[in-house]
């Protein structure tokens, strides 16, 4: 275990150093590559039955892709602006993971012959989902004011605000992923949703540890 922890720390350090050396451009390229990998991954195990336009699977894919897109936006900001190297590394991890998952969900919709945007309101696929919408936003999403505040923040203030917003964002994403697990028997959708729940819970633990490190709540 000690060797594994050391390797992880070295990888994180290398990621942070690479980010400083090559700037934002390398992450933009990596995000595009992640999207392409996700697009390909969505084609690997085509389902026998195609979910319909108003299905939970289609609604989840559409809404979670939009939810993820905001997380990627904030994570790229963290790579650009965070002072703490561990926060920068977290930003890279979130951007690459969630962009790949966006690609997978977009591929599902094309495979199902469905439009990327449906006819139903956000969260209509989930029982009482409409009640989770606040100010037109899905669970956990940052408001325009919060995103503007994040763009303008610097130093430790940026690091803390990013972590707090991403923690809330992840909690909302977990709620959505658990919702589709209650509704879907599609193996591909369930596998991705389970991966999201596990991955984002792990990242919330990391966020909590980083907030403690920075002396914030």
Q: Could you report the per-residue pLDDT of 172-202, keeping only the tens digit for each?
A: 999 999 999 999 999 999 999 999 999 999 9
| Bridge partners for 134 per DSSP | 137
Residue whose entry in the numeric block shows the structure tokens 């720390």: 9
User: Model-level pTM?
Assistant: 0.79
Q: Is the pLDDT of residue 1 over 50?
A: no
The reported pLDDT for the residue numbered 216 is: 96
CA–CA separation, 114 and 53 (whole Å):
6
List the Cα angle 86/139/205 in 5-degree steps.
Answer: 30
Q: Could you report the per-residue pLDDT of 17-51, keeping only the tens digit for each?
A: 444 444 556 565 555 555 555 455 545 444 457 89
146 pLDDT band, cuts 50/70/90, is very high
């Amino acid at each position: 275990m000690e060797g594994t922890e050391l390797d992880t720390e070295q990888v994180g350090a290398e990621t942070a150093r690479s980010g400083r050396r090559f700037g934002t451009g390398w992450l933009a390229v990596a995000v595009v590559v992640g999207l392409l990998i996700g697009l390909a991954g969505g084609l690997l195990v085509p389902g026998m039955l195609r979910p319909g336009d108003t299905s939970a699977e289609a609604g989840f894919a559409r809404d979670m892709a939009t939810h993820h897109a905001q997380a990627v936006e904030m994570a790229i900001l963290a790579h650009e602006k965070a002072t703490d190297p561990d926060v920068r590394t977290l930003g890279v991890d979130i951007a690459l993971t969630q962009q790949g998952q966006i690609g997978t969900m977009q591929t599902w919709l094309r495979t199902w012959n469905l439009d990327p945007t449906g006819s139903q309101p956000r969260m209509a696929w989930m029982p009482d989902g409409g009640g989770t919408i606040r100010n037109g936003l899905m669970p956990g999403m940052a408001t325009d004011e919060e995103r503007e505040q994040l763009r303008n923040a610097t130093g430790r203030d940026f690091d803390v605000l990013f972590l707090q917003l991403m923690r809330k964002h992840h909690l909302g994403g977990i709620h959505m992923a658990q919702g589709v697990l209650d509704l879907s028997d599609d193996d591909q959708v369930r596998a991705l949703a389970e991966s999201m729940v596990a991955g984002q819970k792990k990242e919330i633990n990391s966020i909590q540890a980083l907030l403690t490190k920075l002396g914030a709540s």
